[in-house]
Amino acid sequence: MKQEKVLTPLEIYKVLEKSNCKRCMLPSCLAFAAAVVGGQKKLDDCPHLSEEVKNALSVKLEKRSTAEPRQAEVMGKLLQEVKMLDLAVLAPEIGATYDNGILSVRSLGKEFHVDSKGRMRSECHIIPWVQAPLLAYICHPNHQQITGRWISFREIKGGIDWLGLFRSRCETPLRVLADNHPELLADIVDLFLGEEVEGFDADIALVLHPFPHIPILLCYQAAEGDLESELNIFFDECCGVNLHIKSLYTLCAGLVKMFEQIALKHY
């Protein structure tokens, strides 16, 4: 199934002047690109973009906004599915805990609590990219323990169909962020209980746990000489069993959005 391509921060960044003039009131052109996609800035806030370029980009931004009603429909279905689950029985299978009617799932070091109607609360702000994949993880009919075997996105069932979006919305923008903010990946370890690991051909290799049995591996190799930088995201083999490919994509794209916001605010 071919997925409709929507605008990414990298696509905007490519057409910017890249002078970091700060006339948009942000520290860099990359930060501006991320803010436009996130809705915090408008294309008109960049004084260097021509009307022709702005019009072309605006079409893709409109396409992006049309995905929101579909997301609401997905959420509605997931909330109905949660009501059919026995959360007490489910908890140990998915690496969660259950107490007094509440299922507690750890995501990036934070506890998210879900009741029998799918209502969610947490000590941190709940955003859609966490809410929908987390409910999908809870409702997924199959479950497997972590295997320790890492595979690429394309090796997961259905991954080929989503590979273009995954690269443009996940791996590429995260590589650009790491290039421009070398300290970001190290900060991710501290902020989200990541774990730096060895044995991979990369300058930095770190494991994150968005959900208990959904570990992902980020491998980043900085540019050297004529060689460009490279960033690849890998998944434990169990991820393809424990979550649908669309939810895996949504989860990773959401992580990148969050990292872009961190870079925007702190670097």
Residue range 130-136: mean pLDDT, rounded: 91
Residue range 49-78: mean pLDDT, rounded: 73
* Least reliable range by pLDDT among 101-110, 150-159, 176-185, 204-213: 176-185
Short-list 82, 74, 140, CA closest to 113: 82
pLDDT at position 96, please? 97
pLDDT at 122 over 80: yes
Q: What confidence tens digit (pLDDT) does each residue in 185-209 have?
A: 888 888 898 999 999 989 999 999 9
Short-list 104, 140, 108, CA closest to 121: 104
With 0-12 CB in 10 A as exposed, 13-18 as middle and 19+ as buried, what is 198?
exposed
**pLDDT classification of 68: cutoffs 50, 70, 90:** very low
Please state, in angstroms and rounded to a whole number, the distance separating the CA atoms of residues 178 and 222.
8
* 1-65 belongs to CATH 3.30.1330.60: no
pLDDT at position 267, please? 66
Short-list 36, 66, 68, 38, CA closest to 132: 68
Short-list 254, 248, 34, 7, CA closest to 129: 254
Q: What confidence tens digit (pLDDT) does each residue in 202-242 have?
A: 999 999 999 999 999 999 999 998 899 999 999 999 999 99
In b/e form, how buried is each residue of 102-130, taking b as 16+ CB within 10 angstroms? bbebbbbeeebbbeeebebebeeeeeebb
pLDDT at position 129, please? 74
C-beta atoms surrounding 28 within 10 Å? 21
The end-to-end CA distance of the chain, in Å, is 38
pLDDT at position 25, please? 81
- Where does 44-86 have alpha helices with state H? 51-65, 67-82
Please state, in angstroms and rounded to a whole number, the distance separating the CA atoms of residues 233 and 171.
7
Residues spanned by CATH 1.10.15.40 within the chain?
1-65
C-beta atoms surrounding 73 within 10 Å? 10
DSSP letter for 2, please.
P
pLDDT at position 257, please? 86
- The angle formed by the CA atoms of residues 218, 261 and 20, to the nearest 5 degrees, is 100
pLDDT at 157 over 60: yes
pLDDT at 6 over 60: no
pLDDT at 4 over 60: no
pLDDT at position 263, please? 83
Enumerate helices (H) and strands (E) in the chain, giving the number of each. 11, 9
